[in-house]
Chains A and B, each alone.
Chain A
Amino acid sequence: MADSTSASTPAMPPPVRANRPMSEALLNEKWDHCLSTLLIRSTLGASFGVIFSVLLFKRRAWPVWTGLGFGAGRAWEECDSSFKRASFPSRDGLRVMRP
């Protein structure tokens, strides 16, 4: 709401706000975030796998795949939780005040 008070007399239609997405773009945004997370974590896991393979496992292939799997699994888990949290806002830490 900060920009809404400052824009008192704009002549042109105000631009779409960047900080909060429109409600219909909520899911798409989540998908974008998920994909990027998947890519980053998989790459991280695979690179750790490569390092371990070179250092400890005589250049076998399986540590790379394991690392990749770890990364992808983490990304999947994070994504899943984000989707589940969105429809029902989390109630962790909330308290009910009894009269």
Chain B
Amino acid sequence: MLRTAIARSGARAGRSFVPRSQWQQFRRTLADAPTPDRTVLPGSQSTTTAGVPQPPILGGHPPAPHQAAAAAPMPVPREPPAPSTNTGNLPPTGQGTAATGPSSALPPRKPRRRFRRFVLTMLILTTLGYTGGVWFSLQNDNFHDFFTEYVPYGEDMVAYFEEREFKKRFPVKDYEAKSWPQMRGENKVTIGRQSGVGPKVAETADAGKAQPAKAQQSPGSASPREKTQAVESAKQGKDASKSTGPAAPRKDTESSARKSASGSGSSSAVDHLGVAQASEPVVQNLVSMVNGVISAINASPEDASRYASTVQTMKDNVEKVIGEIGTMKQSAAHETEGALRNAHTEFDQAAKELVRRLEQEMRATESKWREEYESEREKLSTSYQNKLQAELEAAQKVADEKNKNALLEQEITLQKAYMKSVQDKVEEERNGRLSKIDALSESVQDLEKLTGDWNEVVDATLRTQHLQVAVEAVRAKVLESDYPTPFLNELVALKEVSKHDDIVNAAIASINPLAYQRGIPSPAHLIDRFRRVAAEVRKASLLPEDAGVASHAASAVLSRFMFQKKSERGLPEGEDVEATLARTEVLLEEGDLDAAAREMNGMKGWAGVLSRDWVGECRRVLEVRQAVDVIATEARLQSLLVD
């Protein structure tokens, strides 16, 4: 089937393919110079490509395009005749051979190409759909959920694109640049040996002279080079001071020697020990400064001679300055003495004032305390007075109450005595009459006993009457109804009436609950149902043991041809189904439900199965009837026992 279908579709494709080539051919012939004596059959050109021998070329009249189809009906040797399907606007001309023959060479290639195209299309569509899904899931959250859940590998794809987007937004390069270069093992910082703060010995007083000015700066602001320079210069200065310490006196002697050697040209240095106020450090400084200048001038003899007068004036000035320093010192000493004296007097006055104030304050506090003490004493005395008053009043009240209570007790005792005397009087009076009442009550009790006995008799008769009424009600409901009626209410009433009667209770208990809940069918109903059951049983009367479908069908058919046993001339004997059914029908019509149920109960196999419900119903009816009979008998017995 598949093959033929494919072949058919291929043929159709070939046919549709041919007219197009025909068209192209004709168009070309019309556009170019037409060859007048040659006609090409439609579809013949395609055969040349497929290697089929060419159909004969027909000479004659140049054909118009619409005559090409008219030329078709000509018999062509190798092509099988096929009905022409497309003949332009001409009427069909019977056997059209055009175009169907050569197409048989094409079909094997078609399906493969179609299949390939199908696969290609599906691939493209799938890719497009997948790409579109991924793109749209990046746009839409709902679609993202759907796509990642239901499309295989969709989650991975979407995750990949999201990761890319994330990377594009937050490039990883920044994080790497942020980590410390030490961690990457580059650019280790080396700290120079000279940098930082070095240890230094505390300077002595005369070393301070040689201290370079720059060393005093804060170490933070100085560059390392400056610091090292400072330290080195400090060391040099110390060395110098060491050397100058012992050499100072020698220097003076040297300079004086040089002065004498140089003659009048050179001026002598100032004697720093001989100056007035030699002990002052300021003076010593000044002198050494001047000596420095003088020694510098003495170094060259020309300068010494030239500046001799100047040096002399400078020396005089130094003397003058030293004198002024002395006067300044004296005046300062005077001033300080005056200031000291003033301060002493001020302190004395302040101390006196202080003592006076302290005494005043002490006096004031003493008077205040005395006043407070007085007021406190007043308060205490008044409070004690009040307390005393209150205690006195309370004692007075207690005494009053005690008096009142004593009076009340006396009154109560008096009243009790009065009551007792009255009661005694009343008792005496009562005892006299009570003896008569006893006799009266005895006679009343006798009467009560008598009425009680009579009441019991009346109750028993009432109970039996109720029982009989209830039994009658049940009987009416059960046996005289045309259709099954539930008699639950009647049964409940019966049970209420005979609560303590064991026989009635047992009889009620013997009834099947289904019977009083549903009701029991009437005899007519039972007979009607028996007829239906009999028809069914008859159908299954011929079944063997363990019967299948075939036996059932055969039994149903064949039992229709059996004669039914009639019971007009006595009951039929035998154990077969027909005889049993005939006997049961007779017994039912006679009203002997018990015997009928017995007959039917004896059936076996499918007949027994089919009649099971009917037998059960019969049994229920018999049970109810028996129970009602028993209860009725009991009721009669009760009514007899009463009298």
Contact = CB atoms under 8 A, between A and B. Distances in A.
Nearest to B546: A84
Interface stretch (B14-22, B76-84, B251-259, B480-488): B480-488
Contacts of A87: 546-547, 605-606, 609
A27 B489 contact: no
Contacts of A84: 546-548
Contacts of B542: none
A24 interface: yes
A86 to B, nearest CB: 7
B359 to A, nearest CB: 119
Interface in A4-23: 4-5, 7-10, 13-14, 22-23
B613 A23 contact: yes
Interface string A50-79: 000011001100000000000000001001
Contacts of A58: 1
Contacts of A23: 533, 609-614
A24 B533 contact: yes
Nearest to B518: A14
A8 B552 CA distance: 41
Contacts of B547: 83-84, 87
A24 B614 contact: yes
Given A27-B539, A27-B606, A10 B613 contact: no
Contacts of B612: 23
B517 A7 contact: yes
B552 A83 contact: yes
B532 interface: yes
Contacts of A14: 484, 518
Interface centre among B533, B549, B605, B606 (most CB of A within 10 A): B549
Contact of B549 (A8, A24, A83, A88): A83
Nearest to B484: A13
B180 to A, nearest CB: 76
A54 B611 CA distance: 52
A23 to B, nearest CB: 4
Q: How large is the interface on A (under 10, 10 to 19, 20 to 34, 35 or more residues)?
A: 20 to 34
A84 B550 CA distance: 11
Interface string A73-98: 00010011001101110000000000
Nearest to A21: B613
B584 to A, nearest CB: 14
A38 B423 CA distance: 111
A70 to B, nearest CB: 17
B548 to A, nearest CB: 4
A7 B484 CA distance: 13
A39 interface: no
A34 B289 CA distance: 149
B536 interface: yes
A13 B613 contact: no
Interface in B523-551: 532-533, 536-537, 539-540, 546-549
Contacts of B485: 13
Interface residues of B, number: 31
A58 to B, nearest CB: 5
Given A27-B539, A87-B606, A13 B552 contact: no
A24 B548 CA distance: 18
Contacts of B154: none
Question: For the complex, would chain A's binding face be called helix, strand, loop or mixed by DSSP majority?
Answer: helix
B133 interface: no
Nearest to B547: A83
A2 to B, nearest CB: 12
Contacts of B518: 4, 7, 14
A28 B605 CA distance: 16
B514 interface: yes
A10 B614 contact: no
Contacts of A25: 536
B10 interface: no
Nearest to B4: A58
A40 interface: no
B609 A4 contact: no
B96 interface: no
Interface string B597-636: 0000000011001111110000000000000000000000
Interface in B458-494: 483-486, 488-489
B101 interface: no
Contacts of A59: 1
A12 to B, nearest CB: 8
B43 interface: no
B610 A76 contact: no
A98 B614 CA distance: 36
A86 B547 CA distance: 10
Contacts of B613: 22-24
Nearest to A28: B536
A86 B1 contact: no
A26 to B, nearest CB: 6
A27 B549 contact: no
B571 to A, nearest CB: 24
A5 B517 CA distance: 8
B102 interface: no
B519 interface: yes
Contacts of A26: 609-610
Nearest to B519: A13
A80 B514 CA distance: 35
Interface string B540-572: 100000111100100000000000000000000
B478 to A, nearest CB: 14
Contact of A24 (B514, B546, B610): B610
B536 A27 contact: yes
Nearest to A7: B517
Nearest to B514: A4
Nearest to A22: B613
A8 B488 contact: yes
Nearest to A86: B609
Contacts of B614: 23-24
B532 A24 contact: yes
A78 B557 CA distance: 21
A87 B610 CA distance: 10
B610 A9 contact: no
B564 to A, nearest CB: 18
Those 6 A-B pairs whose CB atoms lie nearest each other, nearest first: A23-B613, A80-B548, A23-B612, A24-B536, A24-B533, A13-B483
11 contacts: A7-B486, A7-B518, A9-B486, A23-B609, A24-B536, A24-B613, A24-B614, A54-B1, A59-B1, A76-B549, A84-B546
Given A27-B552, A54-B1, 14 more contacts: A4-B513, A4-B517, A7-B518, A9-B488, A13-B484, A22-B613, A23-B612, A23-B613, A23-B614, A24-B610, A24-B611, A34-B549, A80-B549, A84-B546
